[in-house]
Structures are given as structure tokens and as C-alpha cells.
Amino acid sequence: MILIVMGVSGAGKTRIGELLAERLGCSFVDGDVFHSAANKAKMAQGIALTDDDRWPWLASIRAAIEEKVHARESLIVGCSALKRVYRDVLRGGAQGDGNVRFVYLKGSFDVLHERLATRGRHFFNPALLQSQLDTLEEPGDDEAAITVGIELSPEQIVDEVVARLGR
């Protein structure tokens, strides 16, 4: 099983991903580690990434997913996955290979903005929040994503996801 915890910056992808991995007994990787130095520098300067910036990043994450699938290991990945086409890359095509599910952490601008304002050291410039929200294509019904509001506590979010996974 591969779970991708998705959403805009500040939604809690890393925290929820780590807690899910602990609960499900598998590993977690933050998709940010796959960003190039150039991508991180752009975001730190408040410059939004383009699709051309994102394709190699998404391909790297997909390669890590394929490695885990081949090894028959589960993995939780924290990744914004803002557009459906990005999620298609991560799932291995529009129809997917059946190994990837998404957990969408949904939140309002106000909650996200407040979180980013109080977040410690991170390369993401909070000024990019609106850009991410403008880019975001929420998962469609046919994507069978698990959507959870970020107003819940991290433990409640994990409980909800685990229950919806049927575990």
C-alpha cells in the first residue's frame, strides 16, 4: 500500500504522514527531499514553481514508489500533489497501477495562513500559499481520495484515515 498525504503547504502533510506511518508500521518520506536545490531556492524566494519545475520532482517520487511496490513494502509519502495530472504521474498513469491512494488534507486559507506564520524553519515562503490554493485541483470523486479537514487534531485525522482505510 502506498498512501500519498496531499495538500497545500501548512496542511500538515509531514506530521500526518509520520503518524500514519507509525500507526501502519511502514516508512514515511517527505516529498520535499526530492526537490532540486533550484526548486527549493525558487520557493524560498517566493517564486511559484512551474509544471516544468515539478515534472522531474514528481518522476523522482514515482521512482521511489515503484521501488517500494517492487519490494512489496508499504510507504507513506507527503506530497502536495496539487493537480490531477501530478497525481496521475504519482499513481503511475491516469488509471494507475492500483497501488497508490491519496489522503487529501483540506483546510481554509485562514487556518493554513496561521499555521505557516507560526511554522519554524522551512524553505517554503508563506507568500506562496495563495498561489498553491489557486493551483489546487481537489481530488475528484473518481480518484477515491480520503478527504479530511485539518481542523481536527493530528490524532483525530489519523484515526479517521485508518478507519476509512478499513484497518
| DSSP per residue, 51-90 | HHHHHHHHHHHHHHHHHHHHTT--EEEE----SHHHHHHH
pLDDT value of residue 118: 66
Report domain extents, the chain. Answer: 2-162
Cell of residue 83, nine digits:
493537480
pLDDT value of residue 126: 56
CATH architecture assignment, domain 2-162: 3-Layer(aba) Sandwich (3.40)
Q: What is the mean pLDDT of the chain?
A: 89
pLDDT above 90: residue 98: no
